């Protein structure tokens, strides 16, 4: 709201830039899409893609809906991805054309789940962007904070899901981790963060 035209995301490999206004509008549209698909607070969304500009838009849509976001490694095998999707109870699976070989093998193994792909989708996957673009850019009426649901590396057998309680504070409540990092590292509204993470 205070810096709508400032870049929120810059993709290093391509230079694609997403402003804070675009991120806000697309995450609102994504939240409306999730609600239109019947997802409610506490439901689970699974995502498997390479570093992709749509990822953070989906992540913030999840955050606005009070759902859990499960990220699956882009190096996962079909069996590993299927296990995590089934174990976490994901109702929706989102992937990308880069992951199409895995996606096509997974699709018949995920009956009853909604399947979406960013970019140009391959059947039976539906287009995330095309359906998202039909949605309002305003917040959903029942915004509530979501959370990540992390999976262990599986060193003691199969990966284990770590489901924490969803936050109950209003969605605009400042994040304590961000506040702490701001104090420790002097982060301000004009700071830039380079993410080297996968």
% residues pLDDT > 90 (the chain): 76
**pTM over cut 0.85:** yes
Task: Kindly tell me if the per-residue pLDDT of 170 is higher than 70.
Answer: yes
Contacts 24+ apart (CB under 8 A), 126-131: 128/30, 128/33, 128/54, 128/58, 128/94, 129/54, 131/33
Mean pLDDT of 153-181: 85
Q: What is the tens place of the pLDDT at every residue in 34-75? A: 999 999 999 999 999 998 999 999 999 999 999 999 999 999
Please name which of 110, 105, 49, 112 lies closest in space to residue 84, comparing C-alpha atoms: 110
Question: Which pLDDT does position 198 carry in this prediction?
Answer: 67
Edge to edge, the sheet with strand 44-48 lists: 126-127, 114-117, 92-95, 44-48, 68-71, 147-148
Per-residue confidence band for 27, with pLDDT thresholds at 50, 70 and 90: very high
CB contact burial 64-97 (16+ within 10 A = b; e otherwise): bbbbbbbbbebebeeebbbbbbebbbbbbbbbbb
Q: What is the tens place of the pLDDT at every residue in 78-92? A: 999 999 999 999 999
Question: Which pLDDT does position 195 carry in this prediction?
Answer: 83
Please name which of 21, 23, 9, 80 lies closest in space to residue 46, comparing C-alpha atoms: 80
Q: What is the tens place of the pLDDT at every residue in 115-157? A: 999 999 999 999 999 999 999 999 999 999 999 999 987 667 7
């Amino acid at each position: 709201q205070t810096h709508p035209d400032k870049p929120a995301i810059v993709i290093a490999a391509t230079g694609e830039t997403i402003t804070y206004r675009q991120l806000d509008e697309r995450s609102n549209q994504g939240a409306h899409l999730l609600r239109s698909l019947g997802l409610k607070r506490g439901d689970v969304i699974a995502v498997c893609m390479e570093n992709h500009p749509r990822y953070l838009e989906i992540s913030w849509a999840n955050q606005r809906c009070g759902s859990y976001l499960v990220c699956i490694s882009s190096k996962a095998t079909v069996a590993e991805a299927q296990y995590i999707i089934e174990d976490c109870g994901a109702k929706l699976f989102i992937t990308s054309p880069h992951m199409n070989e895995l996606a096509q093998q997974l699709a018949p193994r995920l009956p009853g789940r909604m399947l979406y792909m960013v970019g140009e989708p391959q059947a039976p996957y539906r287009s995330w962007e095309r359906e998202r673009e039909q949605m309002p850019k305003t917040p959903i009426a029942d915004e509530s904070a979501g959370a990540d649901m992390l999976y262990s590396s599986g060193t003691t057998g199969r990966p284990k899901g770590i489901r924490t309680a969803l936050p109950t504070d209003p969605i605009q409540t400042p994040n304590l981790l961000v506040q702490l990092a701001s104090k420790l590292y002097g982060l301000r509204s004009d700071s830039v963060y380079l993410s080297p993470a996968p």
